[in-house]
Structure 1
Amino acid sequence: MMTYTPLRVTLMLALLFIAASFLGGTAVRSMLGFSDDLTIEGDAQIVRTAPVDVGGGWEAYGGDKGGNRYSAATQINIDNVDQLSIAWIHHSGALDGKSDADRSKSALQTTPILVEGSLVFCTQFNEVIAVDPGSGAEKWRYDPKVPTASNPANQYTCRGVSYWKDGAAEADAKCATRLFTGTVDARLIALDAKTGEPCEEFGENGTQRIQPSITLRWPGEFQITSAPAIIGDTVVTGTSIGDNLRTDAPKGTVFAFDTRTGAIKWTFDPLSGSPDIRGGHSNVWSTIAVDEERKLVIIPTSSPSPDYYGGNRVGDNLYANSVVALNGDDGTVAWHFQTVHHDVWDYDLPAQPGLYQVWREGKAHDVVAQVTKTGLLFVLDRETGKPFLPIEERAVPQGAEKGEVLSPTQPFPVNTPAIVPDRVDPSDAFGITFWDRWACKAQLESLRAEGLFTPPTIQGTLSLPFTGGGANWGSAAFDPNRNLLVVNMNNVGQYMRLQPSTTESAKANKISDDDEFAPMEGAPYGMSRAMLLSPLGLPCTPPPWGILAGIDLDSGKIVWRKALGTTEDVAPGGLALKLGTPALGGPIVTAGGLVFIGATSDHYLRAFNVVTGNELWKGRLPAGGQATPMSYVWKGRQYVVIAAGGASNMGSKLGDNIVAFALPE
């Protein structure tokens, strides 16, 4: 899972504000040795016209079932994007009446879909709402009445709903088209897509409850956060499970149900590849991809429990930390590729596998592109799971603590370097004063830091990228005209430290929100971790702390990289230094030559030129935009829509807004 501690930079940037008052923003950036534009290594070249079956609508969370996050709409383009303005805003009221404790564990991360003449989305607390696509006027809503005060391990959130059309039903029959949504208390719910009423024949009165493999320690240990996958007449879901509490944890089973009745069709346990393993998890908490033609369900799996010690699970832990292609009919494994062997870094796969069509020498190739927390990009052949772009095993640091057995090598892509760095020399520690920088330098010097896959230690280990990425659940977008994958990544560090277990630590039953401690019951160590910050609260790693990049999937070459986000909404006085900020949420691409993304710590939706990565426009949001946008055409007008409700774990402003931008009528 992803853990993300707020950077608390409002007060911490005070000295930067003072410096800027005297020197100006450009001078401050020069003083810090930072350039707005990172290295541009090439140009994106148009190679063909996008396939007709990609980008025609937005019927799935990722635009389509393969997660292209691409719209073929061209009304909004590089020539007129600067004319965008807010067309409408919908307020869900999701936070009304909620306790401070529940609000402080919430995040609006939804991406709407356009189905049955409605724009449909879910709120932080799992209400499903349909609005008019042209005005934002509410048409209906369904409230599953999720329990509050359940302390969900991974926030109150819902990233999306899924759509299914019953080919055997009369068009006007109830539930001839259905929406599926998961909840914080692990229910899978089927609704009539036109009315929002429960489909009573599905499960029990429209609900199928997902059962954990063992008794939960507290109600929020086990939940559903991502939109279910639909393949044929089957709906598939994974679960999000709290990390690091215990070795003997719930299993990360993937469940497949009949879309009409809710009857179980098959299950897949990602730990089945390691039958001798003692423990649980290796769950699928992010978004699943579907290849309808090949009848494949392609899942991104996480690490076994606990995250930072694997003495109970010696070996590579097959199917964990892997892209796994399952046969949609029975859940058997068609192929798999493991991105991290024997994970002890919490480097689970956080993003939807991208099912793209890449052109090389005039021939189309179906691939799976997986972005990762480590900052690495793996591109696989979709038929076989073998590398499409070359991958090699490289030796990695060894010398773990007693009881641990590390993998001697890890897979690395050959053509594409890490999109964000995996190490920082202490002499390059960031700081806006000598004192600040010295403190960061001392912290870095105290940690074991040998690059990616340096093992967790009692001494303390640098984790860079940190457990929030690199990439995260926002996933990547793909421009099929240019073979160009676009992804945003975080560039901040974290320390992690193993602590010999004690009776007191074993009594802990959850992870704290600040400097985290987790007991990892059943392991000989507990774990603590925290963002690596200066005394003023700024990241010790040099900026940019958030980047947006474009990668050519034919060659693997990084085409461009740009700093993403400013300090405007976290610095005193609204000082907007383009240092890049950590971001949650992902990009989309449109045929108008644009990349749209929110996600950053400042409250904007931005548009970039897909060829150069240059920023062309930004639109102010009423709250944090920690979500992935989408785009559609309704009655001849193109809209770009994003949820702006913030995320408590980023410290951004909370809200209940769905915001639509469009050109003037």
Structure 2
Amino acid sequence: MWRESKFGKVISMIHIILASLILLFGGALVFGGVRLGLLGGSWAYLVLGVLLALSALLLLARRKSGLAIYAVAITFAIGWGVWEVGLYWWGLAPRVGIIILLGLLLLLPAVVRSLPHGSPGFRGYGIEGVGLVGAIMLSVIVVGLAMATQSKDLPGEFAQTRMDQDTAEVPRGDWSAYGGTIAGQRYSPLAQITPENVSELEVAWEYHAGDIHVDLPGTALESTPLIVNDTMYLCTPQSEIIALDPVTGKERWRFSPNLVGLTDKLSTYATCRGLSYHDATSLGWEVSGEPPPDKKQALSLVEASMAGVTIDASGAAQNVVAGTAQAGAPNPVIVDDAPTNAEPIRLDCLRRIFLPTRDARLIAVSAETGIICPGFGGEDGTVNLWIGQPNVSPTTYYSTSPPLVTNEVVVVGGSVNDNLSNALPSGVVRAFDIRTGRLVWNFDPGNPESTEPITVGETYTQNVPNNWSLASYDPELNLVYLPMGSGSPDQYGGDRTPEQERFSASVVAVNASTGEVRWSFQTVHHDIWDYDVPAQPSLIDLTISGQVVPALVQPTKQGEIFVLDRRTGEAILPTEEIAVSQNAVEGEQPAPTQPVSTISFAPDDVTGADMWGLSPVDQMMCRISLAQLRYEGRYTPPSLEGTLTHPGSFGIFNWGAVAVDPVRQIMFGMPVYLGFISRLIPRPNTLDEIVSAPGYPMGNENFGTPYAAVLRPFMSPLGLPCQSPPWGYIAGVDLTTGETVYQHVNGTVRDVAPIPLPFEAGVPGIGGPIVTGGGLAFLSGTVDYYVRGYDLASGEELWRSRLPAGGQSTPATYMGHDGRQYLVVVAGGHGYVGTKLGDAVIAYSLSRSKSQ
């Protein structure tokens, strides 16, 4: 009797807990459903909440009719879900997943026995229980159909391989520039690794750079290595150069620039995406009588060369722009002290590595020894990039991307600390003599007609668009192609000048010898969404209607891929202007139209049905948030109440760019989708911080403007994206027609979900792909920790390997001196993306026996 009594109490407890949970669940849906409905959203949550609450009350009254009402709730949820999102599993999951699970628990025999009031048949389950079984079976069938299909995939395959192009100029074994070559294709003709054997890739070696900064969330190792003349070069967040043996991974030397002039307050973001290499051995330069050091001497001289770099980054204390000095403080004059005549060069400096540093310098070191090459900018091999800059203030300006090198000049842009102030350094792009470091020309977007080097005491135009990403170069046309950002602030443009607008969010072609503008193409008019052009242009010759056309492929944050004639800037594939929202804050004047391209990965307009969550409750809360935001499609201006900006400022494509195969004339890319909330905050005309968060000082304060800005990803209360998956794809495009041949959901939620389950949901990421002559594409940029290999013809994933941290960089491939083709990946993570930080450099290859 005691045992029966105790067992009965346990049964009753389970019954009460389940019913109470369903009542709580239903009550939340009723409360939120009313709120959502009054905001103009769906009333379905209210209906579902009422059904669940009624079911719970009946269950608490020990009536089996509660099971019947719960069956109605399940049927309603599945029918409503299919009506809104069709047979798409990730869209159905929030609406039915937890409800089905609770329904299965209600069918436990112990729970059913605790419901004496109702029909007794069917082994005590009654008609009510049978109805619930039927509703669950219906749901399982629908869910099974949804899981068996991938409705967001676009399957396809390239039908033929074009062999029109001569790629003999591509170094077969090297990866000599960030984008493979100065054309920015991210292509290698190496073909030892193929779709047939890629699954047999294995780790050849692993190296750790020892530069991790978990206390600085924006600081990450995201370098793409160079591999030239049997040496691998990469750079670290601390602006160090590391040289490795590309076959063994053994460190050969390391160079540190001794960063100066920085403060903790303004140094929360630091990166070095890559280095630049130049070989002058065939240029006939005069070589000094000083012999290059041997290996033993070189090792002893490296440390001495580091100590020799002593030029202060700014030569002055921080200026008023950072809010840390007195108003009216004079702008320091930084003088160009590079030699006027080319002195004889040390033999080992005929091959040089150019390093952009975090404290705004450009340093030349020997590619052989890692020792500074004197004569480039001075005896310390350094050009001070603060020359001619207004508003000098450490860390508000430096070059995060490798410069572009020709046989005449080194072309350098820079990243300006957008959204700090309306009195920032200039976005000027400069070319320095490749041998001496003497300034040759300057492209100042605020004064583009005057490209002669400015004189001592002059400064460039403050706050104009900057070129923070990578440039490309066509030696036959002698044109440099510059992807440009916008002047600060990003989210408000009411005070911008015509000079700030002219080249904003544009790709600009300038003469490599003079800096003269040849043409420009604007990808966003009056950019107020941080849609700067983030990616290196890819140069490729396309065969269109039987004619070979020199083309430029330009990815953008807003998802448009513009294909232009790189001689003139005219569109090869058609573009058009579309009307956009004009609903902006006082003082703002949005552009009436925006350009779109034949190749477009622009997202569909967001609706309430697109909202997502782990349950109907957090999904409903996302719908409430959406209803409270201003959203009138892509290009909705930022607002005081908050605007959904989709795509967000991370963009559909970012600095990782795309890869193009010049033989097959295929583009391979990683479009990603993550919305942001952009809110403007009226600010006083002071230096008070009103929006900076702890750990992110000097956020979007926009000193000197009417508004500060707050940006954050559009997330649910549980920290998951409010938008339904997929959040990331891989895609293949025929560049001759503009057709997207395939687009596949890419990546798992293993490293972003509360429970590490390897569900293929399609995840966002940052970093770029490469393609090879073997018919493969490689990518490591997703927020799950994998590097993947794909069949370039179909986009099918053929291989993956687990990484120890996020792979937010672009891989490279090369031929080792042992005759094996290698793939190298840097797994440095990225705090702003939310991936684990790391310092691993990992090389993969086929086994020696299979590489023959």
Q: Which residue of 1 aligns with 2:446?
A: 271
Structure 1 residue matching 2:215: 3-state secondary structure? helix
CA gap of 1:664–1:17, structure 2 versus 1, over 3 A, is farther
Contact 1:514 1:530 in 2 (8 A): no
Per-residue deviation, 1:297: 1.0
Q: Which residue of 2 aligns with 1:381?
A: 565
Deviations 1:504-553 (A, max 9, x none): 77445967667996222222222112111111111111111111111111
Per-residue deviation, 1:570: 2.5
1:85 and 1:410 mapped to 2: Cα distance?
Answer: 47
Per-residue deviation, 1:158: 0.7
Deviations 1:83-119 (A, max 9, x none): 0010001112223xx6x534x3421111111123201
2:717 and 2:702 mapped to 1: Cα distance?
Answer: 29
CA gap of 1:476–1:521, structure 2 versus 1, over 3 A, is same
Deviations 1:420-454 (A, max 9, x none): 41521113211221101101111111112122211
Contact 1:36 1:578 in 2 (8 A): no
Q: Which residue of 2 aligns with 1:320?
A: 504
Per-residue deviation, 1:577: 1.2
CA gap of 1:60–1:116, structure 2 versus 1, over 3 A, is same
Q: Which residue of 1 aligns with 2:674?
A: 492
Alignment map for 1:496-575 (pairs within 5 Å): 496-502=678-684, 506-507=688-689, 518-575=700-757
1:295 aligns with 2:408: no
1:81 alignment partner, one of 177, 198, 213 = 198
Contact 1:29 1:35 in 2 (8 A): no
Q: Which residue of 1 aligns with 2:769?
A: 587
1:141 aligns with 2:250: no
CA gap of 1:117–1:509, structure 2 versus 1, over 3 A, is farther
Structure 2 residue matching 1:427: 3-state secondary structure? helix
Q: Which residue of 1 aligns with 2:373?
A: 199
Structure number with higher strand proportion: 1
2:592 alignment partner, one of 408, 422, 425 = 408
CA gap of 1:507–1:29, structure 2 versus 1, over 3 A, is farther
Q: Which residue of 2 aligns with 1:214?
A: 390
2:175 and 2:559 mapped to 1: Cα distance?
Answer: 28
1:190 aligns with 2:364: yes
More deviation in 513-522 or 653-662? 513-522
2:474 and 2:724 mapped to 1: Cα distance?
Answer: 40
Aligned residue identity for 2:169: D
Q: Per chain length, whose mean CA-contact separation is higher, i.e. which structure has more relative contact order (CA < 8 Å, sep 6+)?
A: 1
Structure 1 residue matching 2:626: 3-state secondary structure? helix
1:254 aligns with 2:429: yes
1:284 aligns with 2:501: no
CA gap of 1:30–1:527, structure 2 versus 1, over 3 A, is farther
CA gap of 1:33–1:213, structure 2 versus 1, over 3 A, is farther
Per-residue deviation, 1:469: 0.7
Structure number with higher helix proportion: 2
Q: Which residue of 2 aligns with 1:47?
A: 162
Structure 2 residue matching 1:439: 3-state secondary structure? helix
1:285 and 1:209 mapped to 2: Cα distance?
Answer: 17
Structure 1 residue matching 2:832: 3-state secondary structure? helix
2:789 and 2:100 mapped to 1: Cα distance?
Answer: 30
1:451 alignment partner, one of 614, 617, 633 = 633
Deviations 1:98-149 (A, max 9, x none): 6x534x3421111111123201111121111111111111111111122565
Contact 2:629 2:643 in 1 (8 A): yes
Per-residue deviation, 1:639: 0.2
Per-residue deviation, 1:240: 0.9
Q: Which residue of 2 aligns with 1:70?
A: 187
1:162 aligns with 2:251: no
Per-residue deviation, 1:281: 3.8
CA gap of 1:384–1:72, structure 2 versus 1, over 3 A, is same
Contact 2:564 2:572 in 1 (8 A): yes
CA gap of 1:513–1:361, structure 2 versus 1, over 3 A, is farther
Q: Which residue of 1 aligns with 2:9?
A: none
Aligned residue identity for 2:593: T
CA gap of 1:529–1:150, structure 2 versus 1, over 3 A, is same
Aligned residue identity for 2:375: E
More deviation in 44-53 or 648-657? 44-53
Per-residue deviation, 1:76: 0.5
2:728 and 2:807 mapped to 1: Cα distance?
Answer: 15
1:18 and 1:618 mapped to 2: Cα distance?
Answer: 35
CA gap of 1:551–1:153, structure 2 versus 1, over 3 A, is farther
Contact 1:241 1:281 in 2 (8 A): no
1:456 and 1:137 mapped to 2: Cα distance?
Answer: 50
CA gap of 1:647–1:19, structure 2 versus 1, over 3 A, is farther
> Normalising by the residue count of structure 2, what TM-score does the alignment of the two structures yield?
0.71
Of the two, which has the highest radius of gyration?
A: 2
CA gap of 1:192–1:137, structure 2 versus 1, over 3 A, is same
Per-residue deviation, 1:373: 0.5
Contact 1:422 1:465 in 2 (8 A): no
1:233 aligns with 2:422: no
CA gap of 1:289–1:498, structure 2 versus 1, over 3 A, is same
1:250 and 1:214 mapped to 2: Cα distance?
Answer: 5
Q: Which residue of 1 aligns with 2:70?
A: none
Contact 1:494 1:529 in 2 (8 A): yes
Q: Which residue of 2 aligns with 1:8?
A: none
Aligned residue identity for 1:330: T
Q: Which residue of 2 aligns with 1:127?
A: 240
Contact 1:369 1:380 in 2 (8 A): yes
CA gap of 1:287–1:26, structure 2 versus 1, over 3 A, is farther
Deviations 1:55-82 (A, max 9, x none): 6231111000011111111110000000
CA gap of 1:593–1:19, structure 2 versus 1, over 3 A, is farther
Contact 2:426 2:461 in 1 (8 A): no
Contact 2:204 2:845 in 1 (8 A): yes
2:694 and 2:565 mapped to 1: Cα distance?
Answer: 41
1:399 aligns with 2:515: no
Structure 2 residue matching 1:392: 3-state secondary structure? strand
Alignment map for 1:349-368 (pairs within 5 Å): 349-368=533-552
Contact 1:17 1:575 in 2 (8 A): no
Unaligned 5+ segments in structure 1 are: 1-12
Deviations 1:441-485 (A, max 9, x none): 111111121222111111221111100011001111011222111
> Normalising by the residue count of structure 1, what TM-score does the alignment of the two structures yield?
0.91
CA gap of 1:526–1:34, structure 2 versus 1, over 3 A, is farther
CA gap of 1:278–1:94, structure 2 versus 1, over 3 A, is closer
1:304 aligns with 2:478: no
Per-residue deviation, 1:573: 4.6
Per-residue deviation, 1:278: 8.9
Structure 2 residue matching 1:442: 3-state secondary structure? helix
Contact 1:511 1:518 in 2 (8 A): no
Unaligned 5+ segments in structure 2 are: 1-93, 105-135, 293-346, 451-459
Per-residue deviation, 1:174: 2.9
Per-residue deviation, 1:20: 10
Deviations 1:328-379 (A, max 9, x none): 1111101110111111111000000111111223332111111010011111
Per-residue deviation, 1:26: 13
2:546 and 2:804 mapped to 1: Cα distance?
Answer: 46
